[in-house]
Structure 1
């Protein structure tokens, strides 16, 4: 039994998902459902397929990212400019429990695949729609990548140092956060459908996920602070404003250490550990609001101590004092770290040619129904025959589709 013949496991076993999307947000959303047992059929354009197949570092012409982003998915190719391709997609959509798409608003409607169009034939339809600005509003038709969502949603404005332009996080965080909102929405919609009659008679719904709103949802107390107190949160580098001490410091060997000593009891332990008994016993610093007024003094004391310690010395002392602290990891650090290894955060797989490769393990970890990687990202159109046969098409039909470039 090869990997692709293994039975599907997981809490979503029996759930069918149709993925109509490219790149990051929609495919990441579908990826998580596939990791936990859903049957995910990904529709790609004939020829090149999803552009992410060619992004970043390649192995034999295919992105290593693809190995993760498309694991456990089935790939079929459909020419959506051809009425027969659209008809096949519609069949798949009406059979699916969940449809995930991240086209611009209006595209699916042109293909007779919009939510209202599918709902008319199948009221239990659940559609997760991920877009830059949502399905409504004056900006709905504008292109909106994750970088724009991060900017409009407020994340970029507060990222970086005050005296420099805003910076981006080193990964596509806006797309990924939107994808997670899509997963949450899909699970809530599925729960509601099943509670109102199930696949045949339940009530479906549209999950409208906007990238900028998903980022905005992470922005903590930004709105009430501005509305009530007129405070605009600004860039503060490695510090966490208003919560002291919580910052990034440099050790004598040039490494960076994050120290979060902002709990009242933790602050005392931290000050005693670095030899600042005076600060540990200062009544003004007993509570966070008092420490905020002395932020510069506290950060200065911690940095002066770090100037005398290597990263390993600093961490050993802080851990012994039960103070939250950590080195800033690169992927190289992660791959040999005892905590990552103890938690089995890497999976060993191999490419078709036998070359070994590690993939990140699946999160979150469920005790009874954990996620599994049954196969890495599929070849373009690898499941055309299997999927079309399941829809009732004959070998002759499939051959005609190939000849006419429908697939």
Structure 2
């Protein structure tokens, strides 16, 4: 059974997480990985759907759960009941942070608007994660990562010009939003602790998080009327920076679009004359002749097996990286030494490879103490006794479906 987390810079921070699936809970995961006490509120009987998410399982247990629930404590509350809402308020009254990713207006419907919660707990930082934000014409729409990626402009520039824009193989919009929300939470806590203890609301939207990643596309459109288009495996007018085949049919990314790096690549290729070719001598020229240059690089790379190709690029200091499957990532010694992939022993999963905790802090690094309780409400007794309930009262609440 899990205990406390004696590690990380967020020791002593108390977080209440209300929400499910990915974006909101991933904010809680960032907190938990760095030592905060995260109370994950789940509906009794059903819990977070992530408990049953995905087709791949280990002995009937989903392999998503240990990623999203690790280091957290499970507390069951039926938030649709007034008694459940009262219990939640008691927990929130003692918390530093509340994380929620319900449809906007849900907290207000339950009598837990920011104003009501701040009257109860002046220092509370309320992190609200949603598809479109708490205000605006689309605020009340439900939103998932795929929709946020599409509407923000992110999906439009992905893929190939002559094909429908594909989705990413992960819920990128959810994790991006969680990272922005976590960033906002930390800024709000810093401000609170330097400004007389007053909390505030962090309003994080999936659409806006994806939109924030679009680099210069807005200014390009504003001042040049340019609408960036999908460009396949590379970026338009940036060369050479693409994926290139090795002789064995695998692929490698080579990024040598900077003048000095391109010169190194020509040395690795044994074709140093290309560095002084008028078509390729500058960043602009290489962009204008990207198709020709990519063909030349691909012709060279495809003549070498991957180990020899990597050795040549390494020798001349060219930026490169093979396109790895997860099997290759897990076996990579660099990922292992850096703790990006680590082995963890758990009573439910046995020895299992898990992602490490990032970024790495020199003095107060994060860690993984446990992989999340399998029982919904596993920490009810511990947490509810903290707010003054005895075992009989806890049992009565469970019998009546409140917890």
Matching residue within 312, 316, 324 for 1:317: 312
Aligned equivalents of 2:35 and 2:5: distance in 1? 9
Deviation at 1:125, TM superposition (A): 1.9
Cα distance per residue 1:116-144 (max 9 Å; x no partner): 21112322221000000000001000010
Q: Report which stretch shifted further, 89-98 or 127-136.
A: 89-98
* 2:260 corresponding residue in structure 1: 265
Cα distance per residue 1:381-406 (max 9 Å; x no partner): 10011111011111121111011111
- SS where residue 5 of structure 1 aligns? coil
Equivalent residues in 2 for 1:92-131, closer than 5 Å: 92-131=91-130
CA contact (8 A) 2:58 2:349 kept: no
Q: Report which stretch shifted further, 186-195 or 348-357.
A: 348-357
- SS where residue 381 of structure 2 aligns? helix
User: 1:39 and 1:268, CA in 2 relative to 1: closer, same or farther beyond 3 A?
Assistant: same
TM-score, length-scaled by structure 2: 0.97
User: 1:353 and 1:29, CA in 2 relative to 1: closer, same or farther beyond 3 A?
Assistant: closer
Number of residue pairs aligned between Structure 1 and Structure 2? 401
- SS where residue 326 of structure 1 aligns? strand
Aligned equivalents of 1:215 and 1:7: distance in 2? 32
Aligned equivalents of 1:114 and 1:275: distance in 2? 66
Q: Does 1:133 align with 2:166?
A: no
**Over the residues paired in the alignment, what is the CA RMSD in angstroms?**
1.3
Deviation at 1:250, TM superposition (A): 1.4
Q: Does 1:397 align with 2:393?
A: yes
* 1:39 corresponding residue in structure 2: 37
Deviation at 1:372, TM superposition (A): 1.0
Equivalent residues in 2 for 1:138-177, closer than 5 Å: 138-177=137-176
Aligned equivalents of 1:349 and 1:168: distance in 2? 32
Matching residue within 282, 289, 302 for 1:294: 289
Aligned equivalents of 2:239 and 2:254: distance in 1? 10
Cα distance per residue 1:245-277 (max 9 Å; x no partner): 100111221111110001110101112221322
Matching residue within 341, 355, 360 for 1:360: 355
- SS where residue 392 of structure 1 aligns? coil
CA contact (8 A) 1:8 1:38 kept: no
Matching residue within 5, 15, 18 for 2:16: 18
Matching residue within 383, 399, 403 for 1:387: 383
- SS where residue 4 of structure 1 aligns? coil
Aligned equivalents of 1:398 and 1:297: distance in 2? 72
Deviation at 1:375, TM superposition (A): 0.8
CA contact (8 A) 1:131 1:144 kept: yes
CA contact (8 A) 1:54 1:61 kept: no
Unaligned runs of 5+ residues in structure 2 are none
CA contact (8 A) 2:94 2:121 kept: no
Aligned equivalents of 2:29 and 2:114: distance in 1? 21
* 1:67 corresponding residue in structure 2: 66
Q: Report which stretch shifted further, 39-48 or 111-120.
A: 111-120
* 2:367 corresponding residue in structure 1: 372
CA contact (8 A) 2:5 2:35 kept: no
Aligned equivalents of 1:355 and 1:300: distance in 2? 49
TM-score, length-scaled by structure 1: 0.96
CA contact (8 A) 1:18 1:100 kept: yes
